[in-house]
Amino acid sequence: MFTAIADPTRRAILDLLADRASLTAGEIAEQFPEISRPAVSKHVRVLRDAGLVGIRKDGREVHYSLDAHPLAEVYERWLVRFAPMMDESLQRLKRTVEAKRVARR
């Protein structure tokens, strides 16, 4: 999954799908005029393979939608344990910056 979300285009596709219930491949591709449709389709396929995008067929149209469950699972199982370290690092940075401001006065 980290490989899938490492690419900025794929993250942008996830952002699009987070804002809408579903989009067709054509609707997704319209948002990326600088990229060919086959390239956009490959990005969507990577996201599908990672379990981040689901599909629903409606006649000949395929609608893609976000499935955020895998992201939530990674966050809950892995990333949340690093949050205290990040908070501590930010507090140290804040103290350093504030100390430098006081020293300049």
The amino acid sitting at 63 is: H
pLDDT of residue 15: 95
DSSP-derived letter for residue 35 is S
pLDDT of residue 7: 96
Give Cα 12 to chain centroid, integer Å.
7
Query: How far is residue 84's CA from residue 101's CA, in Å, rounded to a whole number?
Result: 26
**Model confidence at 103, in pLDDT bands (50, 70, 90)?**
confident
Give the containing element (helix H, strand E) for 21.
none
Query: How far is residue 88's CA from residue 91's CA, in Å, rounded to a whole number?
Result: 5
Question: What number is the average pLDDT over the span 47-64?
Answer: 95
**Which pTM was predicted?**
0.73
CB 62 within 8 A of CB 24: yes
